[in-house]
Structure 1
Amino acid sequence: MRVVSWNIHWGCGKDGRIRIHAIIDVLRRLNPDVVCLQEVAANHPELDGSATANQFKQLGGAFGGYHLMEHAPSEIYKNNVPRLFGNLILSKYRISQVHRHLLPWPADPESPAGMPRGLLETVIDAPSGKLRLMTTHLEYYSARQRMAQVQRIRELHVEACARARIFQPDPNLDAPFQLGFRPGSAILCGDFNFAPQSEDYARLLAAPESGALALQDAWRIVHRDAPRAPTTGLHGYPWPERPECYDYFFVTEDLAERVRVLDVLSETAASDHQPVVMELV
């Protein structure tokens, strides 16, 4: 099972031009089973390069054999037309559930900039069985908001693990209640906007409460103590000031022994972030 996570920067390259086809070309070469994208835009002409197209539809059309799930926490209307900005999942595997979680956005007088953030969660029928696959893009400007979002992700994970332990199917319930099994086993990926040495990173991986499955960093599972490859700051982009890692894959402890590959693909300059690829057996 090959999963790709990528903040595509709405397809805007370092020359300020939008080339969504370049994003599509990279993804096709990688041939993933599941794609998790952040910073997908629709009807945003004011973004660099003028992101006027609906990129959710463009990407869905380019991968017609995949199931598409989207979540745009930033949804702004102008002249009754929605301007969307958020996350997208494409999956070759059957999807049995989708949950769209809005993450906390507490007021922060020290950092008035920012936008609503979300966690897009799916339950997929992977070859080895059901698992939850989640992608997110956390706040960049406000440390307070980002930590609140990390804490909420932990709470949602603990909740899912608890529900998995008590799940009992009941065919007598009305259809909307028959969501089916939502496992504790999970993959969490995306642009977290924190560095590996940060408090946010440590908090996300801290021992879970209530018997939930612990989350582990897939890079450390595969590469141990090897220097971490940067996921931003390459190819001459003006941001950030130096190469850094903001993009991650985390897996629950029961999946750790199945992680075989975790690579950052540094060659492409189609976005100011690099694609990250994880493979599980």
Structure 2
Amino acid sequence: MRVISWNIHWGCGKDSRIRIHAIIDVLRKLNPDVICLQEVASNHADLEGNASANQFRQLAGAFGGYQPVIEPTSEIYKNNMPRLFGNLLLSKFRITQVHRHSLPWPPDAASPAGMPRGMIEAVIDAPGGKVRVLTTHLEYHSPVQRMAQIRHLKYLHWEACERARIFQPDPSLDPPYQLGYRPGSAIYCGDFNCTPESDDYQALIAPDDNGALPLVDAWRHRHPAIARAPTAGLHGFRWPEKADCYDYFFVTQDLLPRLIEVEVQSETSASDHQPIVLDIT
């Protein structure tokens, strides 16, 4: 199974023009089974490049054989029209459950700017068995909010692992209760807005004694002796000041024997972030 995670910057390239078709072309060439996108926009004419089109619909339509899961974490109305901004997951494999998680957004007087954040969770019937695939985009401006979101992510991970331990599907229950199996095994990906040296990153990978499956940085596991490839700061974009890593794949420890490769596609300039690719059996 090939999973791609990409903050597409609403399709706005370094020339400040929006080219969703360029995003689609890159994705098609990479031939993913699961696509996880952040910073997808709809009806945001004031964004750089004029993101007035419904990009959720454009991207879902371009991958008609994939099941879409849409999560506009920011939904603001202007003239009774919703302006949407958030995450999109597309899966070639069958999805059996979807959970949309709102992440904490505590008030922070030091960083009043920001937006609501969320995380898509999809239980996917992958070739190697059921796996949860989760994608998110954490807060950029406020370290307080970002750490709260990371702590909640870790709580949600424990919750899923614990439910997997104690829950067995029961077809005799009323239909809304027939959730089916939701495994602890998981792939977390997205723009975490923190670098590998940060406290946020360390909190994500810190071991817990609560029985949850440990989360492992897939790049660090696969390339322990290789400098980390930057996922932003290439191709002359104004942000960030220097190339660094903000986008990751974290996998549960039980999936490590199935991990084939994780890499950053550095060639494209269709977004201010680079797509990252994970291959797993």
Partner of 1:268: 268
Q: Deviation at 1:149?
A: 0.2
Q: Is the 8 A contact 1:221 1:259 kept in 2?
A: no
CA distance in 1, matches of 2:62, 2:267: 22
Matched letter for residue 93 of structure 1: F
| 1:74 paired to 2:74 | yes
- Aligned AA (2:35): V
1:225 shift after superposition: 3.0
Name the counterpart of 1:127: 127
Matched, 1:44 2:44: yes
Structure 2 length-normalised TM: 0.99
Cα deviation per residue 1:11-47 (whole Å; 9 max; x = unaligned)? 0001110000000000000000000000000000000
CA distance in 2, matches of 1:208, 1:91: 30
**Contact kept in structure 2, 1:258 and 1:280, CA below 8 Å:** yes
Give ranges in structure 2 of 5+ residues lacking alignment.
Answer: none
- Which residue identity is paired with 2:257? E
Unaligned runs of 5+ in 1: none
Aligned to 1:13: 13
Aligned match of 2:231:
231
Alignment match, 2:278:
278
Residues 1-281 of structure 1: pairs in structure 2 closer than 5 A = 1-281=1-281
> What's the secondary structure of 2:15's corresponding residue?
coil
SS in 2 for 1:240: coil
Q: How many residues align?
A: 281
- Distance between the aligned counterparts of 2:229 and 2:39, measured in 1? 21
Structure 1 ranges of 4+ moved more than 6 A: none
Aligned-residue offset at 1:132: 0.4
- Matched residue type, 1:61: G
CA contact (8 A) 1:10 1:41 kept: yes
Contact 1:72 1:84 in 2 (8 A): yes
Determine the C-alpha separation between the residues in 2 that align with 1:277 and 1:30: 8
CA distance in 1, matches of 2:107, 2:225: 37
Q: Do 1:158 and 1:209's aligned partners in 2 also have CA atoms closer than 8 Å?
A: no
Percent identical across equivalent pairs? 68
**Once the two structures are superposed, what CA deviation does each residue of 1:163-208 show, in whole Å capped at 9, x if it has no partner?**
0001122112110011111100000000000000100000011112
Q: 2 CA distance for matches of 1:112 and 1:205?
A: 28
